[in-house]
Amino acid sequence: MNEDFLAFNVDLAQNYKSESQRIRILSEKWLEQYGSCPLCGGPLTKYQNNKPVADFFCTHCKEDFELKTKKKSFGLKTSGGAYSKMIERLKSDRVPHFFFLVYQDYRVKDLFCVPKYFFTETLVEKRKPLSANAQRSGWTGCNILTNKIPNSGKIFYIKNRQCFSIKDIITNYQNTVFLKEQKQCSKGWLLDIMLCIDKLNKKEFCLNDLYQFESLLQIKHPKNCHIKDKIRQQLQFLRNKNYIEFKGSGTYKLL
């Protein structure tokens, strides 16, 4: 596939004046044409008439997907719509998988999918209600804290204009599918440890490397008096799920 497919078809948005509307149309059309389901590799179908649940679905898996688009980079956070709606969706387990698309000069630069089971309330930041003067006064939005998503939760399709094969995408999705079975509280701990491993930024690490995060984790989990035990327990779990490999003498390898 040549690089041209990364370009938005700008002709499709000729009739829209606002830039944000144009980008919405163009990025949705682009994803409909070139995106695929990370579970089965099948095509994505757009929901009609602004259905509130999601933007796309896979006809094969019946999974829902929502698209977030941003210029240049997602940075630390991105707008997630109404706060109450997001929390309600999380609690009822109706949260979709999220596609994050980064564009520059009307071309796709990055595209990754965050599987829905990576979403917990800690990823959702409540924003200040809109002021009394605002058109939608009192409306409270939220941000999705993209910097709190572990690397393994970002299933890349395109990274800096380089494409990943659908085989790799499906494998990367399957690598963390074990999170789906976890309850919110145990998932919180696992995601914390996955983020700590990311922060080490090395393929092999030892137990002592992770113990450095003891005080940080203690702040996050004030009721837990055995943080080190908890770290070891999570590592054991991640090892059993083939997320990491135990190399002996307290050394682990990220798979």
Give min distance, CB of 37 to Zn ion, in A.
Answer: 3
Give min distance, CB of 175 to Zn ion, in A.
Answer: 17
Instruction: Tell me the window of 27-35, 51-59, 187-195, 197-205 that interacts with Zn ion (CB under 5 A).
Output: 51-59
Among 60, 94, 136, 228, binds Zn ion (CB under 5 A): 60
Number of residues that bind Zn ion (CB under 5 A): 7
61 near Zn ion, judged by CB under 5 A = yes
Site string for Zn ion, 163-182 (x = CB under 5 A): --------------------
Other CB atoms within 10 Å distance of the CB of residue 95: 22
Other CB atoms within 10 Å distance of the CB of residue 125: 16
DSSP code at position 36:
B
Q: Give the relative orientation of helices 227-240 and 184-200 as an angle to the nearest 10 degrees.
A: 90
Give min distance, CB of 36 to Zn ion, in A.
Answer: 8
| CA dihedral sign, ordered 105, 98, 176, 245 | positive
Contact 13, 30 (CB under 8 A): no
* Degrees, nearest 5: CA angle 133-84-221: 115
Contacts (CB under 5 A) with Zn ion, residues 93-132: none
Question: Residue 50: left if φ>0, alpha if ψ -120 to 50, beta else—which one?
Answer: left
Contacts (CB under 5 A) with Zn ion, residues 28-47: 37, 39-40, 42
Give min distance, CB of 94 to Zn ion, in A.
Answer: 17
Give min distance, CB of 166 to Zn ion, in A.
Answer: 11
Other CB atoms within 10 Å distance of the CB of residue 11: 7
Among 25, 44, 58, 111, binds Zn ion (CB under 5 A): 58
Q: What residues make contact with Zn ion under the rule CB under 5 A? A: 37, 39-40, 42, 58, 60-61
